[in-house]
Amino acid sequence: METLWQAKWIWHPGEASPRNDWSCFRKTFAWPDEENGRRVSLKLTADSRYVLYVNGHRVGQGPPRSWPFRLAYDEYEISHLLKPGQTNAIAVMVMHFGISNFYYLRGRGGLLAQLEVESNSPLQGEGQPHVMAVTDDTWLTVTHPGHDRRSPRMSCQHAFAEKIDARLWDEAWTESDYKPGSEWHAAAVIGPVGCEPWGIPVSRDIPYLTEEPVYPRRVERLGKVKPVQFTAAIDLRNHFYAESTNTANPAEFLGMLATVVRCKQHCKATLALIDVGGTFRGCSLDGVHYDESSLTGEAPERFIHFDLEPGDHFLLIDVSGGTHGGGYHFAMDAEETLEFLSPLTFLPAGNLTQEDDKTAFVTLGPFDGGIRYDHLPSPPMDEEHPDYLRAKEISDVAGLLPFASWVRSVPEALVSREDVFILSVWKRHEVPLSIPGTLQNAVIPGPEPAEVPWFPDADTELVIDFGKELSGYLEFEVEAPEGAVLDFYGFEFMHEGQHQDTYGLDHTLRYICAGGRRRYTSPVRRGLRYCQVTVRNAVAPVRIYYLRMLQSNYPIAEIGQFQSSDPRLNEIWQISQHTTRLCMEDTFVDCPMYEQTFWVGDARNEALINYYLFGADRIVERCLRLVPGSKFQTPLYANQVPSGWNSVIPNWTFFWVIACLELYRQNGDKSFAADIFPHIEYTLKHYLSRLNDQGLLQIRSWNLLDWAPIDQPNEGIVSHQNMFLVKALSAAAAFATVLGNVEAEAFYSVQASRLSAAINAHLWSDERQAYLDCIHADGRPSDIFSVQTQVVALLCGIPEQADSKTSRLATIESHIRRQPSSFVQIGSPFMSFFYYEALAKLGEWEVLIEDIRHQYGQMIDWGATTCWEMYPHFSENRANPDLLTRSHCHAWSAGPAYFLGAYVLGVRSLEPGWSRVLIAPQPCGGLSWARGTVPVPGGGRIDVSWRLESPNSTGVTAGQEHTPTIPVRMHLRIVSPEAVHIEVQPPGEVEVVIEHIRVALCSDPMQETRP
């Protein structure tokens, strides 16, 4: 039933879109006895996120990510939480980001809620519900005083790290008998439903995510630590470009950061340049310059050491470079006390602007730069800007005076004192300690708390291991003295006592204790395996009753299964399954820790993997329907949505088109096909308009396929994306056929053929007998050849359409079977998915299985519980080339779960909706048996098990050689829904004995796939 909204959008009386704002709203109402027993629903949404409580019970949080002009609303049935004949309370905490990131576009702060009661009994028929309460000016609101709005950005992808002072807030604010104080005010009405920037809210289109309490496995490490003296996180991007709050695009700037360091005694000081990325070009102290050659340590942890005499010292850092939006980490340590002062305090009033909210930092610039878009031209920064070059020579505070027009104080809102990330990764002293047995109570779900060892002269640090990667919300209960500080820091990887820090991500939570025994559930989603907890400023021991994770993911059953005679393959399948689960939120996400972003191209492979693991198609449809919403940013469609980063990877759009067709083939839903096809046509015609005189796609964009060093410039003719455009055009033609659109089918078929011909004419090298990687914008053909380009050519049917198709096809197949050592090799598990598709097309089962064993076996050998983003022998996209990978949980890497089900078990659909299914098992890689399950759309599953036997033995062991004179028999058992037509294709010359059991399909109206 369509919602007739009587509620109004409300907000607090302050700023419309404040930075990092947590605000609380509450409404009390009477619930008459006579209403008891009726269904009561609360519909609500908020900008940016909310947590809902009813009479003190935490009900849920949301809304799911969506475009602001199609903001989703949630609906909760809450009758079981209401108290008849008493006062009841609805309480909502709204977290408004006030900035755009990779999963949110900045709107404005707001809350919309409506409480409805069914108006008729089921016997009388359903009518329009009775509206009992709505958001209006009778609601009370207060800005959460315990939340530190100056907490730093977690990263460019995320919003903000979390700092909570429990001393400043009454946890009882969600209860019905709470008495609001004078700090609470009447909410301000923004406007009716439909007002800007939201439009009419749309009903949530996916189930609610799970929240499963998961306890850790053990306390992994204990230490006594002393912190460094001064840390701060500074939002340089927002400071240099105030308009950057509205976009998540990268920014470049030429600029300086300055402060005055005061010391009272001679001391040695260390300036840390930890995780500052591309924003350091040297610094000077009192005019003495320090460049890269002065640094110690290894990136991303570099240091400069100073000798400081008593007095004031002018520190100038060249922070020029580029950033997407993470904080700039400033840290300095010395044995003697240091004080940091704004340079402006040393200048006479009137010489430079003196802001009221000034901090210890001022900037000069930006002298040049701006917000950058990968698919739009941007002028290069003027590295020879005269004011920039002169500013680099400033040696003291007085030297700022000639640059009055360039100097600005960094406001308090953009400086977070005490950078918890730096305090977590850089310590002045660290002493490891043995772990008392009683400390393990911190991970045990029992009544006895763990008492954390206490030291009057140091902090206590413990690392807790959850045993595997998780994604959700940290929750803990502690008993602690008032003012004790608990710093939580999540990370993914440890080996032999050393852990990999989350460079590029401030993955922290600071909780200042109110005294006594308290519980806290963080509303900020996190991914982690390990949680480092540091107890600071405690005047007595802290007791931990529990620390756990509320594991939160898309609600799925583990229908897909796989086991075989090879334990290594079984482990690889299991980490692929767990990875996929953790990367299914309200959309697919690339990883649960670093980004939590719906990358459009990644999701094509993730959808296929999900089909074989969980059979969930509603999440796939939701993802695919979100993509065209980006057309207001670019008609080429953005590569991650909904996002404030207006960025285009053409392949990602082409993968989206292909994934749309694959969803139709998965569930046979023609209504989806009819809805999505106009959006496919819209973007493909814009891409076709970018063809050059040679008939090839020539475009400026992020022309990515693999992290390996293939030649894929951001401007020019890139072979692999021309080829994937052919496949996308062919998919559009297939869609048109499904819809009976003869004209469109002919159009896209012709376009695909023409583009294939142009590729064969201009992107083939007779000399190297291979497709070249690209033609550069200046017309220069690439001298780089890669396995990747040959794989894509085969998958997209390019050599089949060449004039000499037989020889060209054979040559490409040969390159894939036996990869030339001079070609760039596969660089990421993402690209391996396409490589495995090519191997499957060629029937190279042994090569496929051995590559999975080798590549993913490396992860298993390092103790992985999820699949890594990268292989360890490639150094791209990581903070330090010695690191194994950046993300240790990445959904684009979970391909083995698909290939083991589709080819080793051999279960593949032949008709849309899986009405006809092929069972073609492949006993490859020395496997003697395999068994497993593949979900069937619409309900049910297909179970397959096979075992090899020779006539004269009871079985064939893994790796046993089969001679041609001894035939092998396969026992194949299939259990399938009776409505599914099964076709069996035996492997090679193997004799197959088939046992096929058919079961009736139980129709379930709540099944998530539609008939």
Average pLDDT over residues 155-162: 97
At 693, is the pLDDT very low, low, confident or very high (cuts 50, 70, 90)?
very high
- CB-hemisphere CA count at 13 Å for 578? 21
Average pLDDT over residues 556-566: 98
Separation of alpha carbons 355 and 353, rounded Å: 6
C-beta separation of 226 from 487 below 8 A? no
Quick: pLDDT tens for 712-738. 999 999 999 999 999 999 999 999 999
> Hey, what's the torsion of the CAs at 474, 477, 479, 482, to 10 degrees?
50
CA dist 584 and 441 (Å) reads 32
Q: Which of 458, 529, 545, 558 is nearest to 217 (CA)?
A: 529
**Percent of the chain surpassing pLDDT 70:** 96
Cα separation of 175 and 28, whole Å? 10
Q: Which two tokens stand for residue 695?
A: 């008939």
pLDDT at residue 957 in the model: 44
250-271 pLDDT, tens digit each = 999 999 999 999 999 999 999 9
Q: Is 612 helix (H, G, I), strand (E, B) or coil?
A: helix
Per-residue confidence (pLDDT) for residue 951, from 0 to 100: 62
Q: In terms of Cα–Cα distance, which of 682, 793, 794, 802 is closest to 732?
A: 682
Q: What would the pLDDT profile of 397-426 be if each residue is shown by its tens digit?
A: 999 999 999 999 999 999 998 999 999 999
Give the mean model confidence (pLDDT) for residues 785-807. Answer: 91
Examine the pLDDT at 963 and tell me if it is beyond 80: no
pLDDT at 367: 98
Residues comprising the chain, all counted: 1011
> How distant is the alpha carbon of residue 495 from its chain centre?
24
Return the half-sphere exposure (C-beta side, CA atoms, 13 A cut-off) of residue 344: 24
Say what the pLDDT of residue 193 is. 97
Which is higher by pLDDT, 985 or 325?
A: 985
Say yes or no to pLDDT of 696 above 80. Answer: yes
pLDDT band, very low/low/confident/very high, at 881 (cuts 50, 70, 90): confident
DSSP annotation of 347: S
Mean pLDDT of 853-870: 97
C-alpha to C-alpha distance for 424 and 729, rounded to whole angstroms: 50
Q: Confirm if 529 and 181 have CB atoms less than 8 A apart.
A: no
Q: What is the pLDDT of residues 292-345, one digit of tens each?
A: 889 999 989 999 999 999 999 999 999 999 998 889 999 999 999 999 999 999
Tens of pLDDT along 227-253?
Answer: 999 999 999 999 999 999 999 999 999
Arithmetic mean of pLDDT, 380-404: 96
> How confident is the model at residue 803, as a pLDDT?
75
Tokens found for residue 506: 């401030």
What are the structure tokens assigned to 97, written together?
A: 């980001």
* Of residues 610 and 960, more confidently modeled: 610
d(CA 23, CA 48): 11
| Residue from 713, 699, 698, 722 nearest 792 by CA | 722
**Residue 218 CB burial class (10 angstroms; 0-12, 13-18, ≥19):** middle
Output the pTM of the full model. Answer: 0.95
Pairing label, strands 516-521, 969-977: unpaired
Residue 587: the pLDDT is: 98
Q: Mean per-residue pLDDT for 32-40? A: 82
Task: Read off the pLDDT band of 376 (50, 70, 90).
Answer: confident
Q: Which of 519-528, 723-732, 750-759, 989-998 has the lowest mean pLDDT?
A: 989-998
pLDDT number for residue 605: 98
pLDDT, residue 357, reads 67
With a CB cutoff of 8 Å and minimum separation 6, the contacts of 623 are: 587, 588, 598, 600, 603, 607
Q: What pLDDT band is residue 806 in, cutting at 50, 70 and 90?
A: confident
Backbone phi, then psi, for 987, in 5-degree steps? -80, 115
Question: Tell me: the pLDDT tens digits for 178-191?
Answer: 999 999 999 999 99
Q: What is the mean pLDDT of the chain?
A: 94
Mean pLDDT, residues 518-538 taken together = 98
- Stretch 97-126: mean pLDDT, rounded? 86
- Residue 880: per-residue pLDDT: 81
pLDDT of residue 819: 94
Q: Is the pLDDT of residue 1005 over 60?
A: no
H-helix or E-strand spanning residue 657: helix 650-667
pLDDT (0 to 100) of residue 958: 44
pLDDT at 124 over 70: no
Please give the average per-residue pLDDT across 592-605, as a whole number.
Answer: 98
Please, are residues 581 and 529 in contact by the beta-carbon 8 Å criterion? Answer: no
